[in-house]
Chains A and B, each alone.
Chain A
Amino acid sequence: MSGGISLVIELTILVLAIFLGFEVISKVPAMLHTPLMSGTNFIHGIVIVGAIIVLGGAGDTFLKVVGFVAMVLATANVVGGWFVTDRMLEMFKRRPEPRKESAEK
C-alpha cells in the first residue's frame, strides 16, 4: 500500500533485493547458519503487514475468519522467530569462564 507504484519499479526493487540478499548473506559464517535461518524466519514474518491489512479491512465473515487465522499465524511467526533467534544468539555471545581459567594457568 505504498501508493500504487508501477510493476516495473517493483520488479527493479525485487531484482536489487536479490543481489543485496546474496551479498549480505554470503558474509554470514557457517557457524551462524542456524541463527541465520531463524533470523530470516523472523523476517518473513513481515507478512504480518498483509495479515493486518486483510483483517483490518475485512467486511464479511469469510474475510474476518481468514484474516484472523492469518493474523495468528503471522504473529506467531514474528514473535516466535524473534525470541528463538535471540535465545540462540545469546548463547553465541557468552564467553565461557572455564576456558579463561585454563588459559591463565
Chain B
Amino acid sequence: MISDPDVIGLLYLVPIVCFVLALRFLSSPKHARKGNWVGGVGMLVAIATTLALEGIGNWALIAIGALVGSVVGVIGARKVKMTAMPQMVALFNGVGGGAAALVALSEFHVSSGEMATDAIVSTVLSALIGSISFAVSLVAFAKLQELVSGRPITFPGQNVFNIGVLGGAVALATTAVAGVDEQWLLWALIALALVFGVLFVLPIGGADMPVVISLLNAFTGLAASATGFVLDSTVLIVAGMLVGASGTMLTLLMAKAMNRSVTNVLFGAFGQVQAGAGTGMRADDGRTVRATTPEDVAVQLSFARKVVVVPGYGMAVAQAQHDVRQLAELLEQKGVDVKYAIHPVAGRMPGHMNVLLAEANVPYEALKEMDEINPEFPQTDVALVIGANDVTNPAARHDTTSPIYGMPILDVDKAASVIVMKRTMNPGFAGIDNELYLEPQTTMLFGDAKDSVVKLIAAVKST
C-alpha cells in the first residue's frame, strides 16, 4: 500500500521515461524491438503502482477483467494476419477510446455534484473524444474487414446533419460544464458522440483509411490525456499526448502524401466524384489496354537489368507478399537488380507495405521511398505494378480536372516498360480511370495478384 504522494509521483515517472524511450528507439529498425520491451516495462510499473494505491479493492473483478482482456488481446495479436493489420490497429484504437469514455462516465457518477469546473471539462472531453473514436474505430474496422462496403456511403445533407449531431453533443457538454449536474447528460452525450462517430466515417472511402486510422490514433491519445486531467494523473497526460502528437503527425503526413487537406479527406466523400465514370477504358485517340501473358512477362523480367516492384493494396488483399519476394529472389539470382517503390499511402495505413514485405523477409534496404525511387524510374527496364492503382496514375501530374491532380505519385510511366497486375479493369478505390494503362509501354496481366505471381515464378524458372 503506497500512500506518499511523492513516492507515487516518482513511480509514475518511470513509465513516462519508458514510453519516451520506446518511441525514441523506433527511429531505427535495429533497436525498435528493444524499445517496445522498454515500453512494456514502463506499463508494468504503471499497473503495479496503481494496484498498490490506497483504497484499491474489488480484486476478483480486476483479476477477471485483466484475464479476459489479456486472452482477447493475445489471441487477437497472434492470430491477426499482417495484411489485416489496419483493422487490428483500428480495433485497438477503439477499445482504448472506449475505456477512456467509460472511465469518464464513472468519475462523473462518483463525484456528481462536487466536481470542479476543470474536472468536468476534462470528463466531458474524455467522454466525447473517447466515444467518437470508439464508434469510428468499429466502423473503420467493418469497412476494412469488408463487413460493410468500403465505398463512401453518402446521403443528401450529410455534412449538415453530422454537424447538427456534433452540435447537439457539444451543447450537452456545455450544459454539463455550466453546472447542470444530471447523470443522463453524460449518457446522452456519449450516445450522440457514438452516432456522430458512425456518421462521420461512413462517407470516407477505403483509400482514405490511412488518414482516418492516423486520426483515430490521435483521438484516443487525446482521450487518454483528458482522462489524465480527470484523475490528476501525469502519466496519463503525458502518455496520451505523446500518442496524440504521433497521430496528428501521421495524419498530416498522409494528407500531404495525397495532396489533400485533412478536411477534404474527412468531409469530401472522395471517390463519389467519378464513381459512375470509371468503367470502359478506351481513350479518345483509340488507344486501348493491351493484355499480356505470364510467359511474356517472365521473359521481360529475366532479361531486364533493373526491375522496380510497385506494391499496393491489391498485393495485401491477395496475400501475395511471400510470392513476390520469391519472384524477386529468382530474378536476383539471374543478376537482375530488384527494388521496391513504396508510396506513403499505398495500402490502408501508414507503412502498410513495409510491414507486409518485412513479413515476407524482404530486406528493408530494398524498400525505397517515393522521393528516393522516382529519379530511378527512367533507368528502370521493367516496373512491376502489383495491385497499386491511384498512386501510379500520371493524371495526377497534368490533368487539372482529375480528383487526384497534384498528388505526388510514383513515376512508373517513366520506366521503359510497365506491367500492371490487376484483377479486372475496374477503377481503383478512388473510382478514377488510370491513364497509365493506356500508355504504349504498359501491358496488363489480369488475374489475382497471388495467382499471377505464382505463374510468373514458374515461367521465370523455365526461362
- A residues sitting closer than 8 Å to B (CB atoms) are 1-5, 7, 10, 13-14, 17-18, 20-22, 24-58, 62-64, 66-96, 98-99, 102
Contacts and interface: CB of A to CB of B under 8 A. Distances in A.
Contact of B19 (A7, A30, A43): A43
Contact of A53 (B22, B56, B73, B364): B56
A88 B66 contact: no
B33 A90 contact: yes
10 contacts: A14-B225, A34-B351, A36-B26, A37-B250, A42-B43, A47-B96, A62-B109, A74-B69, A76-B95, A91-B359
Given A55-B62, A87-B77, A49 B50 contact: yes
B247 A40 contact: yes
Contacts of B443: none
A77 B99 contact: yes
B46 A10 contact: no
A103 to B, nearest CB: 10
Interface string B32-74: 1101110110010011001101011110011011101110111
Interface string B6-41: 101100100100011011101111101101110110
A53 B230 CA distance: 12
Contact of B30 (A25, A64, A93): A93
B72 A41 contact: no
Interface in B143-198: none
B319 to A, nearest CB: 15
Contacts of B12: 2
B29 A32 contact: yes
B287 to A, nearest CB: 35
A36 B5 contact: no
Nearest to B219: A44
Given A24-B20, A84-B80, A95-B363, A17 B53 contact: no
Given A26-B249, A64-B58, A41 B96 contact: yes
A96 B220 CA distance: 36
B389 interface: no
- Nearest 3 pairs between A and B by C-beta? A75-B69, A21-B245, A3-B5
Nearest to B344: A30
A55 B56 CA distance: 8
Contacts of A56: 50-51, 53, 55-58, 62
B332 interface: yes
B242 A55 contact: no
A12 to B, nearest CB: 10
Contacts of A49: 46-47, 50, 231, 233, 235-236
Contacts of B40: 42, 82
B205 interface: no
B243 A43 contact: yes
Contacts of B354: 30-34
B238 interface: yes
A91 B29 CA distance: 10
Interface core residue of A18, A58, A73, A93 (most chain B CB under 10 Å): A73
Given A54-B102, A71-B66, 19 more contacts: A7-B229, A31-B369, A40-B247, A42-B40, A46-B15, A46-B240, A52-B47, A55-B58, A56-B51, A57-B56, A72-B65, A74-B96, A76-B72, A76-B95, A84-B92, A89-B33, A89-B36, A96-B363, A102-B332
Contacts of A94: 358, 361
Interface in B81-100: 82, 85, 88-89, 92-93, 95-96, 98-100
A68 B376 CA distance: 56
B415 interface: no
Contacts of A88: 82, 85, 355, 358
A45 B43 contact: yes
A102 B334 CA distance: 10
A77 B103 contact: no
Nearest to A78: B43
B367 interface: yes
Contacts of B39: 39, 42-43, 82
